[in-house]
Amino acid sequence: MSNPNHDKGEHYLTTPKAEPFLERLIFNNRAVILIGFLLLTVFLGYNAVKIQPDASFERMIPLEHPYVINMLEHRNDLENLGNFVRIAVETKTGDIFSAEYMETLKQITDEVFYLDGVDRSGLKTLWTSNVRWVEVTEQGFQGGTVIPDGYDGSPASLEKLRQNILRSNEVGRLVSDNFQSTIVYAPLYEKNPETGEPLNYATFSRQLEEKIRNKYEGQNPNIDIHIVGFAKKVGDLIEGIGSIAWFAGITILLTTLLLFWYSRCITGTLVPVFTSIVAVFLQLGALRLLGYGLDPYSVLVPFLVFAIGISHGVQIINAMAVEAGKGFDAVTAARLAFRALYIPGMLALISDAFGFLTLFFIEIDVIRDLAIAAGLGVAFVILTNLVLHVLIMSYLGISKGGIRHVQNHGEKQDRKWRVMSYFAHPGVAPISLLIAVIGLGLGLYYKQDLKVGDLDQGAPELRADSRYNLDNAYIIDNYSTSADVLVVMVKTPVEQCTQYNVLRAMDSLQWELQNTPGVQSSASLADVSKIVTKALNEGNWKWYEISRNQTIINASIREAPSGLINTNCSLTPVLVFLEDHKAETLETVVKRVEVFAKANSDDEHTFLLAAGNAGVEAATNEVIANAKDMMLILVYSVVSLLCFATFRSIRAVLCIVIPLGLTSVLGEAIMAVSDIGIKVATLPVIALGVGIGVDYGIYIYSKLEKYLLEGKTLQDAYFETLRSTGKAVMFTGVTLGLGVVTWIFSPIKFQADMGFLLFFMFLWNMVGAIWLLPALARFLLRPDQMIAKARTAK
């Protein structure tokens, strides 16, 4: 019974007797196919090398969400409300009122002025002429630039500068509350107005580092530079993609060592690694030909492709070694391995691919790109693993050491599998189920805290202690500004955007929002009108009100910032500054705006959500929250259907899918406990975890079924299953885990989150398949009926 050679696979599915057509096609044209692969690899490999990093803003947002549609429709009217960098120049000792500091600031101002991409007319620092102070006198207004006329760095002119700054209303905006730093505010062009070329974030960010930060911090050790803004963040993200190369190297090395430990055969180690790398090159090359770049999400797909390639390659090596051990030559062993594995292998890979493709239902381009990249990758793995790999092995064969290693089913090994086969024992199975139910309960309990969206302060893409987030924290602490802005667009008939009723409605919305938890402050044309009306009335606060007199309103907004009125005065924004970008905050605020907009939109003014980073995040959260259930249902349906199609038994499907469900629940609980929200980065993990996790169940169940049909008791059948495939399955789990675990060290926070979660799901799905599947089988499977059914089928 323990003879490994007796199981000459009588199963109707896994080992058909006849040579299938595909097998003949492939093995009769071995050389031609290999040359074909060589050409394809050279061609796509050449393209793969040339693939470019790409982090486009638009690809990361849900383009089909109404908020985003509104935003994009009016993006020309909302010029530069979002895209700017702020550079805080801090002096470590003393304050900004020193000749040396002001000189450095002047040089930095000039340097920033000449950076490509900066909208020079909007550049603001203490040194630009658009930063002014104003005072009311008996004759009217009096004012000037904050840098006094004839500034010469003398104590007298610095004192004058101090007075001007205090009169200028810039404390908290351009000048920090503690007078130890000032801001260089640089709005950016999305597209170069002369050449029409889009801003290159990577280059721009690098220039900020080299020409501003390194240069001036080096020149003046008393100066600290802090830079924030979307362009800088994206630049840092692109920079972070670079560190991926290290992870790739480490992953390949570890996997190779592990593979050798497993197979004890040089060919059996190097060929799977080689073919998996080929799959990665094919995937990357095809991606580039399809016009894609590598964004911070899709850059992770090659790791998955590599890991999937290896884990399935192991099955081939294992099968070939078994066949070779029976005395077959390399070609025959390869043929038999192919014959035995091409259906379950393809099934497993196709279910991986379908798992990825369910991501396509999330209306965010980066996730769809991820789906395409991963789907493509798995398609290539099917080719490289089941064709290229098998063909190369048919030439090289498994080494003797490798064959001996596979045949070496020593007493020790068997004892281990014997112990583990008790998972199927009638006394142990109920305990396993009880533990699973308790685990499920705990999982469901903790998962209640699972949140949608980003939970951390600052730029959630980057780590809390990253340079960018430290800079961001500095600016939040020292200036009265928030980085989380929701923009409500107010649409009016042409030339009507400054009507009293419009301003009054905006003011009402603002007050409603300022009384909403999570809102820090707000700003709109209504504020400008009130503050200037006050100023026009000799600075008397008693006049702080929107006048009903349109002539006064028009006078009050004559000098309003251009971003607050579009060119034909048909759109004006309300900017809402939020305390954070937690999903609850966004949801609360957005709901209030929606209720208000519904009640107060009419012919004179329509309130539209939403622009600003918080608007986009609110839309993203909504899309993700809605997509999550849909995606889970889809991925589980697809996996269940594929399993059902293969095994023709609902009981089989339950045995395979229930452990996956437990993993999904526990995965969400772990997310909740580790403060990882469901977001663009982590939603795909759920699909990937299920899609790839099902492989274990498929390999184990197909063997288990085979032995049961041979008439073995459940525990014996499971023992044989473990002997033949247990090691390969465990190895698969470890390889997949290794493939993603290095991401945990990524400077990009969401990559680390993804790595951590996938690592957990890959390993735990393996545990689920080995431990829980047999326990479920004890309760769900009816071996007698299965045998009867198999007979009638024959």
Partner 1 sequence: MAKRLTCKTVGAACLGLSMAWSSPAAFALADIIETPARQTDLATTSLLNDAVLAGDRIVAVGERGHIIYSDDDGKTWDQGSVPVSVTLTAVDFGSDTHGWAVGHSGVVLHTEDAGESWNLQLTGIEATELAIAGKEAQIAAMEERVEDAPESEKEDLEWAIDDVVFTMENMQSDLDIGPVNPLLSVWFKDDQYGFVVGAYGMILRTEDGGETWEDWASKIENAQNFHLNSIASITGGALAIVGEAGQIHVSVDGGDTWERRESPYQGSLFGVIGTGQVNEILAFGLRGNMLFSTDLGKSWRMVPNNAGATLNDGVVADDGRITLVGNGGTVLMSSNDADSFREHFRSDRAGIMSVVPVSGTNLLIVGESGVTIIDARGKNLQ
| Residues near partner 1, by CB under 8 A | 136-138, 166-167, 171, 447-452, 501, 504-505, 508, 511-512, 514-517, 538-545, 547-550, 583-584, 587-588, 591-592, 595-596, 599-600, 602, 624-625, 628-629, 678
| Residue 599 CB, nearest approach to partner 1 (Å) | 6
Nearer to partner 1, 370 or 583 (CB): 583
Nearer to partner 1, 595 or 788 (CB): 595
| Residue 34 CB, nearest approach to partner 1 (Å) | 49
| Residue 638 CB, nearest approach to partner 1 (Å) | 19
SS3 (DSSP) at 790: helix
Close Cβ partners of 209 (under 8 Å, ≥ 6 residues apart): none
DSSP state of 93: S
Q: Which of 202, 287, 284 minimizes the C-alpha distance to 241?
A: 202
| Residue 356 CB, nearest approach to partner 1 (Å) | 21
Nearer to partner 1, 214 or 550 (CB): 550
d(CA 11, CA 786): 13
Nearer to partner 1, 154 or 508 (CB): 508
| Residue 162 CB, nearest approach to partner 1 (Å) | 12
Q: Which of 371, 259, 282, 384 minimizes the C-alpha distance to 738?
A: 259
Asked if 405 contacts 628 with a C-beta cutoff of 8 angstroms, the reply is no
Nearer to partner 1, 166 or 270 (CB): 166
Residue 380 belongs to what H/E stretch?
helix 365-383
| Residue 628 CB, nearest approach to partner 1 (Å) | 5
The per-residue DSSP string of 565-616 comes to S-TTS-EEEEEEEES---HHHHHHHHHHHHHHHHHH--SS-EEEEEEHHHHH
The per-residue DSSP string of 517-528 comes to TTEEEEE-HHHH
| Residue 546 CB, nearest approach to partner 1 (Å) | 8
SS3 (DSSP) at 545: coil
DSSP state of 677: P
Strand pairing category for 140-145 and 223-229:
unpaired
The per-residue DSSP string of 314-349 comes to HHHHHHHHHHHHTT--HHHHHHHHHHHHHHHHHHHH
Nearer to partner 1, 303 or 607 (CB): 607
Instruction: Name the one residue in this structure whose structure tokens are 């006394």.
Output: 427
| Residue 624 CB, nearest approach to partner 1 (Å) | 8
Nearer to partner 1, 188 or 574 (CB): 574
d(CA 403, CA 265): 8
| Residue 601 CB, nearest approach to partner 1 (Å) | 9
Q: Which value, in Å, is the radius of gyration of the alpha carbons in the chain? A: 32
Nearer to partner 1, 391 or 593 (CB): 593
Close Cβ partners of 785 (under 8 Å, ≥ 6 residues apart): none
Nearer to partner 1, 343 or 455 (CB): 455
Q: Which of 237, 201, 163 minimizes the C-alpha distance to 85?
A: 201
| Residue 108 CB, nearest approach to partner 1 (Å) | 27
Report whether the peptide linkage leading into residue 324 is cis, meaning its omega lies within 30 degrees of zero.
no
| Residue 512 CB, nearest approach to partner 1 (Å) | 5
The per-residue DSSP string of 436-488 comes to HHHHHHHHHHHHTT--BS--SSS-TTB-TTSHHHHHHHHHHHHSS--SEEEEE
| Residue 570 CB, nearest approach to partner 1 (Å) | 20
Nearer to partner 1, 114 or 541 (CB): 541
d(CA 621, CA 615): 10
Nearer to partner 1, 132 or 416 (CB): 132
| Residue 600 CB, nearest approach to partner 1 (Å) | 6
Nearer to partner 1, 51 or 136 (CB): 136
Q: Which of 172, 236, 223, 221 minimizes the C-alpha distance to 475?
A: 172
Nearer to partner 1, 243 or 496 (CB): 496
